[in-house]
């Protein structure tokens, strides 16, 4: 993870200057809109398909080189692509990512564990994180995800994935819950079930957002702060009480701050810390459009028009215009992928994480438990320079 630190200074300078001096360190690659779920919070499966081929990904990753540290292969349902391990292998060959993140709905229980095992073999030195989506328990999950029997299949997939853990030390198995107006009242139940029955390596929750990509703008799926806040604060209490060490403690400190960020974004309806989407993070749509993020889903250019050269697509006039709009605060959201990169590029947040981790490590060493210091998210106004 320390490898990202030298990149951060360049990305901060890019943000201040409004010109890209580097390629993004976090990339989300949506490999297809195809999906076998019919979630109440997502209509992406209705979008037309024009997916990149494996060779198109190969050329794109070759142009990226070692710039991106964190790859997310999303969808649709990414495991529907039989060539997902080959796509990951191409990314690994050219880009050597430190972290590869893959969400799954777990529906294809007879296929997914073997496909993920191929992914693990394709990227032996990357940390591979697979997050199983769980939006309810039992039939409630099936209702929200629109597929009868989904919960049972997801549990079989989870067991199959868990069995891989003893053979692959680079494998992290997580559970991911989207909190929407459909399950906000059940969140405590989901959390307890995950904690007591599934015991994953990590549990993350993301608030349901209205996204252009998912065709959910105007659907009213996002919970109000009044109902979200108590649910998430209980989760934060659990995070702070868990006695993690090393990298897990750092991850946990960032996650805690991410939840603070979500609450403040909902309350203040603004970028609470500067958003560096289009600078430090980006998304590639299945057809090769390069976006700053999936919330806006506005193309900087299509890789097919730039001979699969990511850098050329990254330096278009449209890309600069989008960066200006974001820097001017014309949008705000709690998108997790962008938020984690934003926190890494935000010196006050980095300093507060370092302080908390340092003090807790010291406290553990002296067998004393300290209250985490400086936990609340440090804020800078978006029109101030990063400093």
Three-state SS for 187?
Answer: helix
The residue among 88 and 275 lying less far from ligand SF4, judged by its C-beta, is 275
Interface stretch with ligand SF4, choices 32-40, 89-97, 120-128, 331-339 (CB under 6 A):
331-339
Residues β-bridged to residue 204 = 176
Helix (H) / strand (E) containing 6: helix 5-17
The answer to whether residue 153 forms part of the interface with ligand SF4 (CB under 6 A) is no
Which 3-state string (H, E, C) describes 279-317?
CCEEEECCCCEEECCCCCCCEEEEHHHHCCCHHHHHCCH
- Should residue 293 be labelled a site residue for ligand SF4 when binding is judged by CB under 6 A? yes
Shortest gap between Cβ of 199 and ligand SF4 (angstroms)? 32
Can you tell me whether residue 351 is helix, strand or coil?
helix
Give the span between the Cα atoms of 29 and 43, in whole angstroms.
Answer: 18
Candidate ranges 38-46, 65-73, 103-111, 333-341; the one touching ligand SF4 (CB under 6 A): 333-341
Q: Output the smallest distance, CB 187 to ligand SF4, in A.
A: 23
Of 28, 103, 101, 77, nearest to 251 by C-alpha is 101
* Minimum CB distance to ligand SF4 smaller for 27 or for 107: 27
CB of 232 to ligand SF4, least distance (A): 19
Rounded distance, CA 311 to CA 299, Å?
A: 14
292 contacts ligand SF4 (rule: CB under 6 A):
yes
Q: Rule CB under 6 A: choose which of 100, 232, 253, 277 binds ligand SF4.
A: 277
Yes or no: say if 95 and 126 are a contact pair by the CB < 8 Å rule.
no
Q: Which stretch binds ligand SF4 (CB under 6 A): 48-56, 113-121, 329-337, 374-382?
A: 329-337
> Which three-class secondary structure state does DSSP give residue 219?
coil
Q: Which of 377, 289, 333, 338 is nearest to 11 (CA)?
A: 338
Name the one range near ligand SF4 by CB under 6 A: 34-42, 182-190, 309-317, 326-334. 326-334
Q: In whole angstroms, what is the distance from residue 270 CA to residue 333 CA?
A: 8
Q: How far apart are CA 254 and CA 189, in angstroms?
A: 24
Q: Check residue 207 for interaction with ligand SF4 (CB under 6 A).
A: no
Told to check if 275 binds ligand SF4 by CB under 6 A, we report yes
Minimum CB separation of residue 342 from ligand SF4 in Å reads: 8
Q: Which stretch binds ligand SF4 (CB under 6 A): 6-14, 15-23, 54-62, 327-335?
A: 327-335
Outline where 29-148 has alpha helix (H): 54-64, 84-95, 112-122, 139-145
Nearer to ligand SF4 (CB atom), residue 300 or residue 326: 326
Q: Does 300 bind ligand SF4 (CB under 6 A)?
A: no
Binding to ligand SF4, residues 224-243 (CB under 6 A)? none
CA separation, residue 302 to residues 28, 53, 64, 283, 312 (Å)? 15, 14, 15, 12, 10
Residue 270: φ, ψ to 5° = -160, 170
CA distances from 369 to 238, 252, 363 (A): 15, 16, 6
Q: Which is nearer to ligand SF4, 1 or 328 (CB)?
A: 328
Total interface residues for ligand SF4 by CB under 6 A: 13
Q: How far apart are CA 176 and CA 160, in angstroms?
A: 17
Counting DSSP H helices and E strands in the chain, the numbers are: 13, 9
| Contact window for ligand SF4 (CB under 6 A) among 8-16, 55-63, 237-245, 292-300 | 292-300
Indicate whether 271 belongs to the interface with ligand SF4 (CB under 6 A). yes
Q: Is 313 in the site for ligand SF4 (CB under 6 A)?
A: no
Nearer to ligand SF4 by C-beta: 128 or 277?
277
Query: Which of 235, 333, 353, 357 touches ligand SF4 (CB under 6 A)?
Result: 333
Taking residues 46 to 85 in sequence order and writing x for each that binds ligand SF4 by CB under 6 A, - otherwise, the string is ----------------------------------------
- The nearest distance, CB 293 to ligand SF4, in angstroms, is 3
Q: Which of 112, 179, 184, 326 binds ligand SF4 (CB under 6 A)?
A: 326
Q: Which residues bind ligand SF4 (CB under 6 A)?
A: 271, 275, 277, 292-293, 295-296, 326, 331-333, 335, 338
């Amino acid at each position: 993870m320390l490898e990202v630190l030298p990149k951060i200074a360049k990305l901060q300078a890019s943000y201040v200057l409004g010109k890209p001096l580097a390629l993004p360190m976090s990339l989300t690659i949506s490999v297809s809109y195809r999906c076998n779920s019919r979630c109440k919070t997502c209509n992406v499966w209705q979008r037309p398909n024009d997916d990149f081929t494996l060779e198109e990904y190969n050329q794109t990753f070759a142009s990226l080189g070692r710039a991106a540290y964190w790859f997310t292969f999303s969808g649709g349902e990414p495991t529907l692509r039989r060539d997902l391990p080959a796509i990951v292998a191409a990314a690994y060959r050219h880009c050597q990512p430190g972290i590869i993140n893959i969400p799954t709905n777990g529906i294809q229980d007879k296929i997914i564990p073997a496909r993920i095992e191929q992914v693990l073999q394709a990227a032996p030195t990357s940390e591979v994180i697979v997050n199983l989506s769980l939006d309810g328990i039992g039939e409630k999950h099936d209702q929200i995800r629109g597929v009868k029997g989904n919960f049972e299949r997801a549990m079989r997939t989870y067991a199959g994935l868990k069995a891989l853990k003893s053979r692959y030390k680079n494998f992290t198995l997580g559970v991911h819950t989207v909190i929407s107006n459909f399950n906000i009242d059940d969140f405590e139940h989901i959390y307890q079930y995950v904690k007591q029955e599934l015991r994953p390596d990590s549990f993350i929750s993301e608030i349901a957002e209205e996204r252009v990509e998912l065709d959910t703008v105007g659907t009213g799926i996002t919970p109000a702060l009044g109902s979200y806040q108590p649910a998430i604060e209980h989760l934060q209490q659990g995070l702070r009480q868990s006695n993690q060490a090393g990298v897990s403690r750092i991850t946990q400190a960032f996650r805690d701050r991410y939840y603070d960020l979500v609450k403040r974004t909902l309350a203040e309806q603004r970028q609470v810390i500067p958003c560096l989407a289009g600078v430090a993070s980006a998304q590639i749509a299945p057809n090769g459009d390069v976006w700053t993020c999936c919330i806006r889903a506005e193309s900087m250019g299509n890789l097919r028009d730039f001979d699969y050269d990511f850098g050329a697509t990254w330096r278009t006039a449209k890309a600069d215009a989008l960066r200006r709009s974001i820097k001017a605060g014309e949008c705000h959201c709690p998108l997790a992928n962008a938020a984690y990169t934003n926190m890494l590029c935000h010196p006050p947040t980095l300093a507060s994480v370092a302080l908390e981790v340092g003090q807790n490590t010291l406290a553990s060493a002296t067998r004393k438990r300290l209250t985490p210091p400086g936990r609340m998210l440090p804020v800078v106004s978006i029109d101030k320079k990063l400093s």
